[in-house]
Chain A
Amino acid sequence: MKPKVAFFSFTSCEGCQLALLECENELLDILGAIDVVKFREAMSETSDEYDIAFIEGSISTPHDEEKIKKIRDTAKVIVEFGACAATGGLNAMRNSMGTEEDHYEELREKVYGPVGVEHFRSTKARPVHAVVPVELTIPGCPVDRGHLLEVIEAVLVGRSPRQFDHPLCVECKLNDTVCVVEAYGQMCMGPVTRAGCDSICPNVGDACEGCRGLLPSGNFAAHQQMLEEHGNSKEEIRLRYLMFNAYPCEELEVPLP
């Protein structure tokens, strides 16, 4: 029997659901192998019976928290996918801009006005795995289609998907990509960032921004010092680390300049 799969969206832009829809050559094969029962970006029918839940978005409100716990009770497998779900993503930048006790009141007022303060409560923005246990993670902003398909394949075949426990530099080298630090002195997060996107940004001459999350094995002190040697200020380096990795910095206790 085909596994029933549901897609859920939390605090995010829903771009990762679109990334799946963009797997145009593979969509029919995917639909032949799974039974999609909930997918807001693509269909209006829904069902609350499912085996695998794909979760997009960070957990950032009390309501999010309730909802993800209910999903956990139903799903046999939870896949957190996309930077927001896997690392807290850009949303976690706000974690240092207020306190959880007052539900980031000042920040909410700035964003939503006085009415919003009444109606929206906020918690710290967290990855899904910080709230409920998850089985699989596909990071990235947005997720890499190749990695997404590899994980779907692994789940269907019934084996563990490939782990990317090495830095992005590996993929730059495999692609014969000119190092953007070596050649242009760019502020690249690649040496401390999890690979798996096929070095999509450096391949076109842009520095990695770290959207796939910091590697627990990363040599952060040496990386920050190297970026300083290439003319970046401490503040620039700090902001670059916090852009996609505010939550991982806290989780891994990364010292920031």
Chain B
Amino acid sequence: MELYKIDEKGLAEAMARVMEDYRVVAPVEKGPKHVFDDIEDWSDARPMAVGTVLPPKKYAFPQRETLLRFTLTGETPEAEAVMDDTPVVMAGVHPCDIAGLRCIDHTLAGRHFDEHYGARRMNAIVFGFDCMPDEHCFCTSVGTLKAESGYDLFFTPIQTGGFVIRIGTPRGRQLFEKYFQHAEGAGVYEESLEADFRQRKAEAVTAHIDAPVDDLPEVYQESMDSEVWDKWGAVCFSCGSCSLVCPTCYCFDVQDRVSLDGSEGRRDRIWDACTLPDFATVAGGHDFRPTAPKRLIHRHNRKFNYQQERYGEPHCTGCGRCGRSCLVHINMVTVANELIAEQKGEEA
């Protein structure tokens, strides 16, 4: 694969030109944290910032979106789908979030193709950036340290300054050729610097799951009755934060709104979360998962058991967002390790 390199100034010039033609979003500062937001000046972007509140999935699958508009004035109601295929360049997508988008693709753009998601997703251009982990990151435990695919362009910072660029798609190549005039060819030396960065990144990860990721489905299958769930369920707020910030969660609610004169309306899709108390309540009032431990079992199994068995990769990407946002310190690594330790104890 061809490698290129670019310095900070060249990148800023290229991004300024990209911004002339495209909507560009990137992590920006918000208080002491970062969020993905629209940028008009590349100097506002913090493409390597770890732990944005929401992952960039919100550009393919927005928190709230209108699916269709309808009118009720004629003899029969008429509806028209609302689609958004405006291209958006997402700059600063880390390997964990690239994996997150792939996980949602399995469900929303696989056997069942969601047209609304598909339209946005296909027009979401991924400029991946490598990053340095904080204490919540655990990409090395779930195989997301490095992005093998899923990006149009991927930027790795190197010690000599600037970035090494990899091109991941034909669309990425077109964009590269059109906007990145200041990039130069790179060779074995730059490739070693790239590997060196990734090595330092891997060494900086401090949170680790104490078992190979392929063993996790069995661990979770065997742990349905574990007391670990009761322990964490007792302190869980059922606030839904863990699910809402997750790059692989896609549960939603659908709501109709009608104008006050009853002539027209719209159908909206809004994020929902399986950890919320009212999520599994059905018509008639029965709740299939009425307690916090039952809801936690469900969420954690969705990451390391059900989805992983079905699609062949864990649906936890090690981004650490759930752990950062949980005010009572429930996180995937602690829970996994307690389940693993419990089973090792039983075997011994």
Contacts and interface: CB of A to CB of B under 8 A. Distances in A.
Interface of A: 26, 29-30, 32-33, 150, 152-153, 156-157, 162-163, 165-167, 169-170, 173-179, 181-184, 190-192, 205, 215, 217-219, 222-223, 225-226
Contact of B32 (A175, A177, A178): A178
Interface stretch (B192-200, B229-237, B334-342): B229-237
B240 interface: yes
Interface string B198-242: 000000000000000000000000000000000000111111110
- The listed residue with most B CB atoms (<10 A of its CB), out of A163, A170, A178, is A170
A205 B30 CA distance: 11
Contacts of B66: none
Interface in B246-276: 255, 257-262, 270-271, 273, 276
B261 A169 contact: no
Contact of B261 (A33, A165, A175, A179): A33
Given A32-B260, A219-B292, A167 B33 contact: no
A225 B234 CA distance: 12
Nearest to A175: B63
B237 A169 contact: yes
A160 to B, nearest CB: 12
A229 to B, nearest CB: 9
Interface string B71-105: 00000000000000000000000000000000000
Nearest to B35: A176
B278 A163 contact: yes
A167 B260 contact: no
Contact of A157 (B239, B262, B276, B324): B262
- The listed residue with most B CB atoms (<10 A of its CB), out of A156, A174, A175, is A174
A180 B245 CA distance: 16
A169 B36 CA distance: 19
A174 B64 contact: yes
B31 A170 contact: no
B53 interface: yes
Interface string B295-337: 0000000000000000000000000000011011000000000
Given A166-B239, A176-B54, A215-B277, 18 more contacts: A26-B260, A30-B260, A153-B258, A156-B260, A157-B262, A165-B276, A166-B276, A167-B238, A170-B239, A170-B241, A179-B325, A182-B325, A183-B33, A184-B32, A191-B239, A219-B235, A219-B237, A225-B235
B187 to A, nearest CB: 41
Given A170-B239, A177-B53, A153 B257 contact: yes
Contacts of A222: 234-237, 328
B244 interface: yes
Contacts of B64: 174
A170 B54 contact: no
B83 to A, nearest CB: 22
B325 A152 contact: no
A182 B271 CA distance: 22
Q: On chain B, which size bracket covers the interface?
A: 35 or more
B159 to A, nearest CB: 32
Interface string B38-72: 00000000000000011000100001100000000
Given A30-B260, A178-B32, A182-B325, A191 B237 contact: yes
Given A162-B255, A179-B325, A219-B236, A174 B31 contact: no
13 contacts: A150-B257, A156-B260, A166-B276, A169-B241, A173-B245, A176-B37, A178-B53, A179-B327, A182-B327, A184-B31, A191-B327, A192-B237, A222-B237
Contact of A178 (B31, B255, B273, B292): B31
Contact of A167 (B30, B235, B240, B261): B240
A156 B292 contact: no
A29 B239 contact: no
B327 A29 contact: no
A225 B270 CA distance: 31
A182 B242 CA distance: 13
Given A173-B54, A177-B53, A219-B236, A166 B260 contact: no
